[in-house]
Amino acid sequence: MKSLFLRSGAVLACALTLASCGGGGGSLYISGSVVGLTQTGLVLTNNGGPDLVVPAGSTTFVFNELVGNDSDYKVLVKSSPPSAVCTPFSNTGRTSTYSINTVVIQCITNTYDLGGTVTGLKADGLVLINGSDRVAIANGATSFKLSKVADGSAYGVTVLTQPTGQTCTVANGTATMGSAAVNNIQVNCI
């Protein structure tokens, strides 16, 4: 008799615990991984249920609402960050007896051109850099372009190698990329 009360109490405690986690309808989680999320604004839904806001920098997510065995799931991106496109993969199916952790949300941040003007260049050898990106500027060039930079990422264009017999300086070379191309960097050579 004593063990019957203990077992009943344990079952009740488990049921209350699951119910407090939103688990009135099941005991399985829907979760997965997030790749490339660098900014805020990602919102997911499962079967049109409550929104799940995923913070910037997250690499995983878990829906709070538990689902039952043999339940359909369909994880969708309700909204992406303003400067990115997020796409779900392996996001639909039916549960069995295990939680789902195979959904992948891939976010790709928009990238924009980085460049500007060159004045006074009368020699060879000028090399500009932005991080590990480098570009050699030809004698007489009036403009330059480096590799695209992701929205929200810092950039810092500097002179790596001066041209023969000249000194070049960079103006407007350091900032954070916004949501449009940057073409106002000035390289002046004397």
Would you say the C-alpha torsion 57, 178, 45, 49 has a positive or negative sign?
A: positive
Report residue 35 as tokens.
């790749």
- Locate all alpha helices (DSSP H) within the chain, ordered by sequence: 2-20
| pLDDT higher than threshold 80 for residue 157 | yes
Closest to 28 (Cα-Cα) out of 75, 61, 63:
63
**pLDDT, tens digit, 9 for 90 and up, residues 27-79:** 999 999 999 999 999 999 999 999 999 999 999 999 999 999 999 999 999 99
Q: Which residues are within 8 A (CB) of 169 and not within 5 positions of it... i.e. 6 or more apart?
A: 159, 187, 188
Q: Which residues are within 8 A (CB) of 4 and not within 5 positions of it... i.e. 6 or more apart?
A: none
- Region 89-93 average pLDDT: 98
The DSSP call for residue 162 is: P
18 compared with 80, residue with greater pLDDT: 80
What is the reported pLDDT for 18?
44
- Region 16-30 average pLDDT: 62
| pLDDT higher than threshold 50 for residue 3 | no
In the block, which residue shows the tokens 């039952």? Answer: 68
Which residue ranges make up each domain of the chain?
22-109, 111-189
CATH of domain 22-109: 2.60.40
CA 11 → CA 14, 21, 28, 102, 166, distances in Å? 5, 16, 17, 30, 82
Q: Do domains 22-109 and 111-189 have the same CATH topology?
A: yes
**Percent of the chain scored above 70 by pLDDT?**
87
CATH of 111-189, one of 3.90.105, 2.60.40, 3.30.230, 1.10.10: 2.60.40
DSSP assignment string, 48-87: T-S-EEE-TT--EEE-SS-B-TT-EEEEEEEE--TTEEEE
Label residue 94 exposed, middle or buried (CB < 10 Å: 0-12, 13-18, 19+).
Answer: exposed
CA distance 134 to 130: 6
What's the mean per-residue pLDDT of the chain?
A: 90
